[in-house]
Structure 1
Amino acid sequence: MAVRRMTEPECVFGQLKNNRGFRRFLLRGIEKVTPPVGWLSLAHNVLKQAAVDQKSRAAILQ
C-alpha cells in the first residue's frame, strides 16, 4: 500500500499574500471572515484553472 502525501495549504496562503497582495481581513470573527475566504479560494482556483487551460491551448496550437 502506497502512502499518499498530503497537500500543503501553506503555499496557497503564500501566493495570496505575495502574488495577490492580500494581507489582512477588514472584519473580525469567523462568521465575518468565512465569505472573504470563500471568494479568495474561488478566485485562486479559477485563476489556476485558467492557467492550465491556457497551457493546453498553446500545446494544441503548436
Structure 2
Amino acid sequence: MNLEQINQSLKLTIQELVTKLSDEITAKNLIAIQLVEKDEELSLLRKEKQELTELLEVQTKPEERKGE
C-alpha cells in the first residue's frame, strides 16, 4: 500500500465513524425526548390516580350519624 491509498483509507474510515457517531447521537437524543415525554405522562397519570383515590374515599366514606 502506498501513502495515497493509506490516506484515502483513513479518510473513508473517519467519514464512516463520523456518520456512525451522528446516527448514535441522533438516536440517543430521540430516546431522551421520548423519556421526557413518558415521564410527563407518568406524572399526569399519578396525579390523576391521586385525585381519583381522594374522590373515591370521599364518595365511599360512611356518613357520620348525628347523635351517636
TM-score, reference length from structure 1: 0.51
The aligned counterpart of 2:3 is 30
Q: Take 2:32 and 2:15, find their aligned partners in 1: how far apart are those partners?
A: 26
Q: Which has the higher contact order (CA 8 A, sep 6+)?
A: 1
Q: C-alpha displacement at 1:49, in angstroms?
A: 1.2
Q: Which runs of 5+ in 1 are unaligned?
A: 1-27
Q: Which runs of 4+ in 1 moved over 3 A?
A: none
Aligned-partner residue type, residue 32 of structure 1: Q
Structure with greater proportional helix content: 2
Given candidates 44, 47, 53, the residue that maps to 2:17 is 44
Aligned-partner residue type, residue 11 of structure 2: G
TM-score, reference length from structure 2: 0.47
Q: Take 1:55 and 1:61, find their aligned partners in 2: how far apart are those partners?
A: 10
- Count of aligned pairs between the two proteins: 35
Q: C-alpha displacement at 1:61, in angstroms?
A: 1.1
Bigger radius of gyration among the two: 2
Q: Take 1:31 and 1:59, find their aligned partners in 2: how far apart are those partners?
A: 42
